[in-house]
Amino acid sequence: MWPRSFWYRIYEPFIRKAAGFGVASKEHDKERYEHKYEYCDLLIAGSGPSGLASAYAAAKNGARVILAEDKPRFGGSLLTSDVSINNQSGKEWADNIITELKGMTNVTVKNRAQIFGYYDHNMLVMSERVTDHLPKSEEFTPKQRLWYIRAKQVVISSGSIERPIVFGNNDTPGVVLASAAKEYMKVYGVLVGKKPIVFTNNDSAYETAIEFKKNNINPIVLDSRQDSNSEIVKEAKSLGIDIKFSHVVVAAKGYKKVKSCDIAEISEDKQNLNQIKNIECDCICVSGFWTPTIHLASQSGGKTKFKEEIDAFVPDKSKQKEVTLGSANGVFTLEETLKTSFDKGFELSKEITNNNNSQQIPKVSEKKHSKHDKFWCVPLPKGKKYKRFLDFQNDVAVSDIELAIREGYRSIEHVKRYTTLGMATDQGKTSNLNGLQLVSNIENKVVPAVGHTTFRPPYTPISIGAIVGREIGKHSKPTRKSPMHNWHEKNNAVFVDAGVWLRPRYYKRGNEGLFEASKREAENVRKNVGVCDVTTLGKIDVKGPDAAEFLNRVYTNAWLKLPVGKARYGVMLREDGIVMDDGTTTRISENHYHMTTTTAQAANVLSHLEYYLQLVWPELDVNVVSITEQWAGAAIAGPKSRDLLQKLFPDTNVSNEGLPFMGFVEANLFGVNARIFRISFSGELAYEVNVESDNGNFMWEKIIEIGKDFDLQPYGTEALSTLRIEMGHVAGSELDGRTIPYDTGLDGLVSKKKDFIGKRSLLKKAYNEKDRQRLVGVVPLDKKTSIPEGSHLVKDPKGKLPNPKLGHISASCWSVEHNNPFSLAILKDGKNMIGSKLYAMSPLKNKTIAVEIVSSHYVDPKGERVRS
Amino acid sequence: MLYIKCPHCGLRSQNEFAYGGDASVKRPELNKEISDQEWDEFVYLRKSPRGKHLELWHHVSGCRQWIKVLRDTSTHEIFNTYKSEEKVG
């Protein structure tokens, strides 16, 4: 359409809007959604006759039953069909059964509850619309609730859906399914029209015609069959209803709604239309027979089979513990449905409960139906090009399918994707079979040879909110807080997420931002003394006679000779030689070790240790258990830390001789048992004090109180990072799952003498290349510009793309010792690059910075302070 | 979602477990000289069979035991579960 440039800006947006394509809201959904887990003996999907009968039989036999009904009202077809059960109307019988079921303690009955998905091992998911129908939801009452139900047996009694017959202009408003028109009248007291046409190929639509008649409306019935003498047709005739056999609707007429329709007599072979006649009408009630709802049975993994008598697929052999009953299984008589459902409900419950209380099958009176006509699409009259829609939601017409076939699409899966037949939110509930009929007609195949597309959950669209449930915002993952959290909060800590933990990032004073505060805190550690909450570090208790041997296999360095009362830094690898984690482990007593891990890797390390103990070396007598939450930890670091420690523990000798570097001692903190480890992450003289978590706050407040005399300041993770980066101490950003010990400068800790997890991999050629990447320090030449983390190191900043990357910046800080920016990097041939000039480029931050490569140990390279 | 019978705890939902891969893989003994190929097979190479597969699961949100599960990878049928030290057969 002209002009071409108008397409994207004007025509298409207009068309999309007209087609009902909306825009998703970006607003937060304020409604409450909940999840629920449930278990039962029998889960019954659908409360029509088969659902009610099987639920009743099973419940009376002692089984735990959940009966779910998608609609607000229970009873399914019984609400509208003209039958009697035990001399009651179908609806009365259904009401009585439901009332009785609701009164039983072993039964859960839910309406507005859609079983929408059938998953592995008999797990089904149900969406219950709790307050959707109410004007305003009450506080703490969910809008919807998602049920995860694990059932021992499942009864699929999901019923069937009426199929349309395809004819010209069949998308005109006023064209409805005959069953829908009947439900409007019988359940809601609404007439869909006053001049109705009932267009059918079977007996069931006659109930709609009779219902119109009962409401003093005179319908005209067009029946594609040549004749029918069934009970219900006779009744319609006796009521004086106008019935035209061998007649069809050729096309609906009317612009905004049906005003009339063209009808014609159709030949016996259904190929030719005789004289076309226009008659006035305001609605066309269509019935092209019934399609069993087999979605759940198919989702469970079972195959389907084509049932010739009803022109539709029904479930074949069940794959999981499930059975399909009633019209969902292609059984359309109430008598048979009730009998098999009562039997099945009893039989399934007996297997579970071993009870033997069977119910008497009620007496049924229903009208016998004659055969339907295998007719589904009205031919086009000569010279007319009416659109004949198959899929009303995605607007797929007969001509679209014909085009797809002409284009060469053969597989039904391809035809579906090319035309979008059945791909709307209704998933082709009314269109799929007619589409299959069409393809099989054109291809001269039978429907089962064409096959059907896959049924996938959800059966109907489900709110995203219901799927997410309460796991939104802060509830999307647990928040772990240290015992000292309240103190941090009261003292202006700004928090940061560290895994699932909340840790103080810095303690704000006045107008300070992150940079000023963390710099002040780090400087104070280097000058005086600081205290940092290190509760979040992973802690694992390792106990048993073989603990030393086990650690010796887990860590790359030697552990057999570590004396009691000493800590050692250790590195553990994965079997592929990549560094997994690092930390210090302390020998508390002969067979008892206290292992620490990084905050992030704590859970993985525990699983790793359990794997080797349980599966690889079960002969080792060792037990491991997480004690992260049992101990609160405070790191006290800085030149004045020993003086502070001595005041905290006056009875303990914490001198350099009494508690040397990497020493450990148990001590008394004003009546509270404490463990003191002389270990350092900051590169300063430092200690870590652990107490049982309940005493964490007590410890912290004592340190703060006594620390005042030593100019102590608490410091957060930002200062902690600064201190470790300028020290060249590796952490998660260097141990990133891509580095081996050599890369991170930890190769000195790799034992040549003993075997350990991952050692064999270190022999790999690539791990031993001469120009292997290695940890280095990076300083900007101007000593001013901070280098963004993640920047690439390149030789030539103007080099042709792709510019060869020599390494990357893993961590950056403002060195408080040198008062200029400093970064760590993993650099190719890093060992021989010290002193060279490169460029750090960050296209994301649009920065190119000239840098010099230096040693990663920017502060105290000989490590004298920690030993002082 | 699978329903896995932990031999220590009983039937539990899959979301209590972590998958641990092929249970028939045996780690080479410590201190044993082996070829690059043997080591690579142990570290990297895994079969991905369609059908019966003996695999490891870790009951992380339960008893924290590693267990063996004999499962059909195409139908998800679980034939049996075993304690880590139990002989499978």
The residues spanned by each domain of chain A are: 33-160+293-365, 162-290+371-450, 516-536+630-723, 538-626, 769-859
Residue contacts between A and B (CB atoms, under 8 Å) = 55
- Could you please report the per-residue DSSP string of A287-332? E--EEE--HHHHHTT--EEEEGGGTEEEE-S-SSSEEE-GGGGT--
Is residue B20 within 8 A of residue A142, CB to CB? The reply is no
Task: Give the minimum alpha-carbon distance from B27 to chain A in angstroms, rounded to a whole number.
Answer: 7
Measure the CA angle with vertex A627, ends A625 and A631; round to 5°: 165
- For A516-536+630-723, the fitting CATH number among 2.40.10.10, 3.30.1360.120, 3.30.950.10, 3.40.190.170 is 3.30.1360.120
Nearest CA in chain A to B33: A760
Residue ranges and CATH numbers for the domains of chain B are 3-26+45-83 (3.30.2270.10)
Contact A610 B66 (CB under 8 A): yes
Contact A611 B58 (CB under 8 A): yes
Question: Rounded CA gap, A305 and A316, in Å?
Answer: 5
Map residue A669 onto helix, strand or coil. Answer: strand
Strand partners, A313: A306
Partners of residue B18 in chain A, C-beta under 8 Å: 607
**Residue A528: how many other CB atoms lie within 10 Å:** 17
Partners of residue B58 in chain A, C-beta under 8 Å: 607, 610-611
Nearest CA in chain B to A761: B39
DSSP-derived pairing of the beta strands A837-842 and A792-794: antiparallel
Predicted ipTM?
0.98
* Distance, C-alpha B60 to centroid of its chain: 14
| CATH H-level superfamily of A769-859 | Aminomethyltransferase beta-barrel domains (2.40.30.110)
Contact A614 B76 (CB under 8 A): no
- For A33-160+293-365, the fitting CATH number among 2.40.10.10, 2.20.28.120, 3.30.1330.10, 3.50.50.60 is 3.50.50.60
Question: Rounded CA gap, A253 and A386, in Å?
Answer: 10
Task: Give the minimum alpha-carbon distance from A792 to chain B in angstroms, rounded to a whole number.
Answer: 30
Q: Calculate Rg over the CA atoms of chain A.
A: 38
Indicate the burial class of A468 (C-beta count within 10 angstroms; 0-12, 13-18, 19 or more).
Answer: middle
Q: Does residue A21 register a pLDDT over 80?
A: no
For residue A150, give the nearest of B3, B42, B44 by CB distance.
B3
User: Which pLDDT score is estimated for A452?
Assistant: 82
pLDDT tens, residue by residue, A604-624? 999 999 999 999 999 999 999
Indicate the burial class of A599 (C-beta count within 10 angstroms; 0-12, 13-18, 19 or more).
Answer: buried
Q: Can you give the three-state secondary structure of A494-538, one letter per residue?
A: EEEEECCEEEEEEECCCCCCHHHHHHHHHHHHHHCEEEEECCCCE
- The residue among A120, A319, A740 with the most chain B CBs within 10 A of its CB, best to mutate, is A120
Contact A576 B18 (CB under 8 A): no
Nearest CA in chain A to B5: A121
The 10 Å CB-count burial string (b at 16+, else e) for B66-82 is bbbbbbeeeebbbeebb
pLDDT tens, residue by residue, B36-75? 999 999 999 999 999 999 999 999 999 999 999 999 999 9
Task: Give the minimum alpha-carbon distance from B30 to chain A in angstroms, rounded to a whole number.
Answer: 6
Do domains A33-160+293-365 and A162-290+371-450 share one topology? The answer is: yes
For residue B27, give the nearest of A301, A319, A616 by CB distance.
A616
Query: Widest CA span of chain B, in angstroms?
Result: 43
Contact A610 B58 (CB under 8 A): yes
Q: Does residue A34 register a pLDDT over 70?
A: yes
Question: Rounded CA gap, A53 and A100, in Å?
Answer: 12
Q: Find the mean pLDDT for residues A143-152.
A: 97
- For A538-626, the fitting CATH number among 3.40.50.1000, 3.30.70.1400, 3.40.50.10800, 1.10.10.10 is 3.30.70.1400
pLDDT tens, residue by residue, A746-774? 999 999 999 999 999 999 999 999 999 99
**Residue A473: how many other CB atoms lie within 10 Å:** 7
Give the phi and the psi of residue B2 in degrees, each rounded to 5. -70, 155
Band of pLDDT at residue B5, cut at 50, 70 and 90: very high
DSSP-derived pairing of the beta strands A389-391 and A290-292: unpaired
Map residue A814 onto helix, strand or coil. Answer: strand
**Residue A328: how many other CB atoms lie within 10 Å:** 29
pLDDT tens, residue by residue, A506-528? 999 999 999 999 999 999 999 99
Contact A121 B66 (CB under 8 A): no
CATH number of A162-290+371-450: 3.50.50.60
Contact A553 B30 (CB under 8 A): yes
Indicate the burial class of A316 (C-beta count within 10 angstroms; 0-12, 13-18, 19 or more).
Answer: middle
Band of pLDDT at residue A450, cut at 50, 70 and 90: confident
For residue B30, give the nearest of A122, A603, A755 by CB distance.
A755
Q: Note whether B37 contacts A: Cβ–Cβ < 8 A.
A: no
Q: Calculate Rg over the CA atoms of chain B.
A: 14
pLDDT tens, residue by residue, A156-191? 999 999 999 999 999 999 999 999 999 999 999 999
Q: Note whether B27 contacts A: Cβ–Cβ < 8 A.
A: yes
Spatial CB neighbours of B44, under 8 Å, sequence gap ≥ 6: A576
pLDDT tens, residue by residue, A65-83? 999 999 999 999 999 999 9
With a threshold of 0.80, does the pTM exceed it? yes
